[in-house]
Amino acid sequence: MTTSAAGAPPTLVFAAGGVVWRPTPDGVEVLVVHRPKYDDWSMPKGKRDKGESDEDCARREVEEETGLRCRLGDELISSSYVDHRGRAKLVRYWAMEVAGGAFEPNAEVDEVRWLPPGEASALLSYDRDRQVLASFTDPR
């Protein structure tokens, strides 16, 4: 295990989010979000609060970023990477069906797009997000 500059173990950041989806006459559309701070396209997610379950974190973060209340479905693959601050990050994801609400642009997310999964995959900025989306569209 590596250590931080101060000699302490590195921080592991826990986060959760979802592949938010809705039915269409031709199948499904999934939601991708634009984060102006990073100028990227991703799926809604965020850091877990102390004492919060991953499932509650996923619901809260999706609603905070998108205004949408969602029902948790199947858990998808997780994603782990080093964030922009050099911290190890583990993100758990769920399929999340929209139950209500509406998007309002905010500081974290200024635009959303509902797209067929293939178009969403092409727009996503990170391969790790494409892998999560693929676990939704092609569950094993």
| Among the listed residues 11, 94, 100, 5, the one whose alpha carbon sits nearest the alpha carbon of residue 57 | 94
| Among the listed residues 139, 99, 140, 124, the one whose alpha carbon sits nearest the alpha carbon of residue 45 | 124
3: pLDDT confidence band, cut at 50, 70 and 90? Answer: very low
**pLDDT, tens digit, 9 for 90 and up, residues 39-83:** 999 999 999 999 999 999 999 999 999 999 999 999 999 999 998
| Among the listed residues 85, 93, 91, the one whose alpha carbon sits nearest the alpha carbon of residue 10 | 85
For residue 11, what pLDDT is reported? 83
114: pLDDT confidence band, cut at 50, 70 and 90? Answer: very high
Is 91 within 8 Å of 78 (Cβ atoms)? yes
Measure CA of the first residue to CA of the last residue in the chain; give whole Å. 32
Count Cβ atoms below 10 Å from residue 95 Cβ, excluding itself.
21
